[in-house]
Structure 1
Amino acid sequence: MSAAADLREKIVARDLTLTYPHTATHPAHTVLRHFDLSVREGEFLSLLGPSGCGKSTFLNVLAGLVPPSSGEIRVSGEPVSAARRKLGFVFQGYALFPWRTVRKNVEAGLEIRGVKRAQRRSEAERFLQLVGLLDFADHYPHQLSGGMRQRVAIARALAYGPEILLMDEPFGALDAQTRESLQQELLGIWEHSAKTVVFVTHSIDEAIFLSDRVAVLGRGPGRVKEIIEIDLPRPRNAALRHAPEFVALRQRAWESLRVELDAPRAQEHASFGVLREATGAQHV
Structure 2
Amino acid sequence: MAIVLGPNRYGKAETRLVRVHRDGDTHGLVDLNVSVALAGDLTATHQTGDNSGVLPTDTMKNTVYAFAKQHGVGEPEEFALLLARHFVRTQGHLDSARVTVESFAWDRLGPHSFQRRGDHTRTTAVTVTREAVQVVSGVTGLVLMNTTASEFHGFVKDRYTTLPETRDRILATAVDAKWRHLSDEADWGKSFQGALDAMTSAFVNTYSLSLQQTLLSMGTMALTARPEIAEIRLALPNKHHYLVDLSPFGLENENEVFIAGDRPYGLIEGTVTRDDVPPAASEWYL
Shorter-chain TM band: under 0.3
Normalised by the length of structure 2, the TM-score is 0.25
Please say which structure displays the higher CA radius of gyration: 2
Q: Give the structure, 1 or 2, with the largest relative contact order (CA under 8 Å, sep 6 or more).
A: 1
TM-score by length of 1: 0.25
